[in-house]
Amino acid sequence: MKSVLSILLTGCLLAACGPKATDNKTLAEKPNSMFSDDDRSIAEGKGIGEVKEVTLNNPLDASRVQRGLDIYDMKCSACHQLDTVRLVGPGWQGLTQTRKPEWIMNMITNVDVMLEKDPEAQKLLQLCLTRMPNQNVSIGDARDILEFMRQNDGE
Amino acid sequence: MKLNMKGLFLAIIMAFVVIAMFFSGCKPKGGISSLTSDAASKVYVPPGSYDEFYLFTSGGFSGQLGVYGLPSGRLLREIPIFSFDSEEGYGFSEETKAMLETSFGFIPWDDSHHPELSQTNGEVDGRWLFINANNTPRIARVDLTTFTTEEIIELPNTGGNHASAFITDNNEYVVSASRFSIPIGQREAAIDSYKEEFDGVATFISVDPKSGTMSPGFQLILPPFDYDLAHTGKGPSSGWMFFTCYNSEEANTLLEVNASQRDKDFIMAINWKKVEEYVKSGNGTKMPINVAHNYRDHNKGGMAVSERYTEITTIKPEEIPGLIYYIPCPKSPHGCDVDPTGQYFCAGGKLAAVVPVYSFEKMQQAIASKSFEGDVEGIPVLKYDAVLQGEVKDAGLGPLHTEFDNEGNAYTSFFVSSEIVKWKVATQEVIDKAPTYYSIGHLCVPGGDSRKPWGKYVIALNKITKDRYLPTGPALTQSAQLYSIEGEKMELLLDFPTIGEPHYAQALPAELIKDKQVKIFKIEESTHPYVAKGEKEATVYREGNIVHVKMTSIRSHFNPDNIEGIRVGDVVYFHVTNLEQDWDVPHGFAIQGAENAELLIMPGETLTLKWVPKRSGVFPMYCTDFCSALHQEMQGYVRVSPAGSNVPLKFHTNNKGL
CATH number at residue A76: 1.10.760.10
The per-residue pLDDT for B167 is: 98
| Biggest distance spanned by C-alpha atoms of chain B | 98
Q: Are residues B328 and B221 in the same domain?
A: yes
Q: What is the pLDDT of residue B297?
A: 84
Instruction: Indicate if B477 and B555 belong to the same structural domain.
Output: no
Q: Please answer whether residues B598 and B625 qualify as being in contact, where contact means their C-beta atoms are separated by less than 8 angstroms.
A: no
B547 and B438, same domain (yes or no): no
How many whole angstroms separate alpha carbon B120 and alpha carbon B209? 10
| CA-based nearest residue in chain A for residue B628 | A130
**Same-domain status, B545 and B500:** no
Q: Quick check: B334 and B348 in contact, CB under 8 A?
A: yes
pLDDT for the residue numbered B352: 85
Number of domains observed in the structure of chain A: 1
> How many CB atoms are closer than 10 A to CB B258?
13
Residue A32 has pLDDT above 90, yes or no: no
The per-residue b/e assignment along B531-556, b for 16 or more CB within 10 angstroms, e otherwise, is: bbbbbbebbbeeeeeebbbbbbbbbb
B349 and B261, same domain (yes or no): yes
Q: What is the dihedral of CA A40, A42, A45, A47, to 10 degrees?
A: 130
* Nearest residue to A47 (alpha-carbon basis) of A90, A108, A88: A108
pLDDT tens digits, residue range A63-108?
A: 999 999 999 999 999 999 999 999 889 999 999 999 999 999 999 9
pLDDT at B572: 98
- The reply to whether B546 and B500 lie within a common domain is no
CA–CA separation, B391 vs A74, rounded Å?
67
Q: Report the CATH number at residue B618.
A: 2.60.40.420
Question: Min CA distance, B536 vs chain A (Å)?
Answer: 6
Q: Using DSSP, state whether B10 is helix, strand or coil.
A: helix
Whether B475 and B559 share a structural domain:
no
DSSP 8-state code for residue B649: P
Q: Is the pLDDT of residue A7 over 50?
A: no
Q: List the one residue out of B504, B514, B505, B605 whose CA is nearest residue B554.
A: B605
Residues B414 and B561 grouped into a single domain: no
The parent domain of residue B615 ranges over 523-652
Q: Name the residue among B533, B552, B581 with its Cβ closest to that of A136.
A: B581
Contacts of A74 in chain B (CB under 8 A): 523-524, 533-534, 579
Which neighbouring-strand residues pair with B392? B355
Is B535 in Cβ contact with A133 (below 8 Å)?
A: no
- Please provide residue B289's backbone torsions phi and psi, each rounded to the nearest 5 degrees: -135, 170
Q: How far is A153 from chain B (nearest CA, A)?
A: 21
Residue B466 lies in a domain: yes
Q: Is A136 helix (H, G, I), strand (E, B) or coil?
A: coil
A127 vs B: CB within 8 A: no
Distant-in-sequence contacts of B261-265, Cβ < 8 A, 24+ apart: B262/B331, B263/B330, B263/B331, B264/B328, B264/B329, B264/B330, B264/B331, B264/B384, B265/B225, B265/B328, B265/B329, B265/B331, B265/B332, B265/B333, B265/B349
- Tell me the ipTM for this assembly: 0.74
Chain B residues with CB under 8 Å of A133 CB are 554-555, 580-582, 585
Task: Please state, in angstroms and rounded to a whole number, the distance separating the CA atoms of residues A110 and A102.
Answer: 11
pLDDT at A49 over 80: yes
Q: What residues have CB less than 8 Å from A2, skipping those under 6 apart? A: none
Structural domain for A17, as ranges: 2-152
Does B62 fall in a domain?
A: yes
CA distance A38 to A42: 6
Domain end residue (candidates: B442, B474, B508): B508
Whether A60 and chain B come into contact, CB under 8 Å, resolves to no
Same domain, B280 and B364: yes
**Whether A26 contacts chain B with CB within 8 A:** no
pLDDT of residue B196: 96
B92 and B590 Cβ atoms separated by less than 8 Å: no
Q: CA–CA distance from B282 to each of B209, B285, B286 (Å)?
A: 22, 9, 10
Please tell me the predicted confidence (pLDDT) of residue B301: 77
Last residue of a domain, one of B449, B483, B508: B508
Closest residue to A133, CB basis, from B533, B580, B654: B580
DSSP state of B474: B
Q: How many other C-beta atoms are found inside a 10 Å radius of the C-beta of residue B344?
A: 23
Low-confidence ranges of chain B (pLDDT < 70): 1-34, 36-37, 657-658
Chain A residue nearest residue B535, CA to CA: A78
For the four alpha carbons of B416, B421, B425 and B427, in that order, the dihedral sign comes to negative
Total number of domains constituting chain B: 2
Residues found in chain A? 155
CA gap B450, B442 in Å, rounded? 16
Looking at the structure, do residues B495 and B531 belong to the same domain, yes or no?
A: no
Q: What is the pLDDT of residue A37?
A: 86
- Tell me how far apart the alpha carbons of residues B464 and B466 are, in angstroms, rounded to a whole number: 6
Pair (B482, B530) in one structural domain: no
Nearest to A133 among B555, B629, B630 (CB): B555
Checking if the pLDDT of A43 tops 70, the result is: yes
B325: domain CATH number? Answer: 2.130.10.10
Based on the domain organization, do B553 and B435 belong to the same domain? no
The Cα of A113 is separated from the nearest Cα of chain B by a number of Å equal to 14
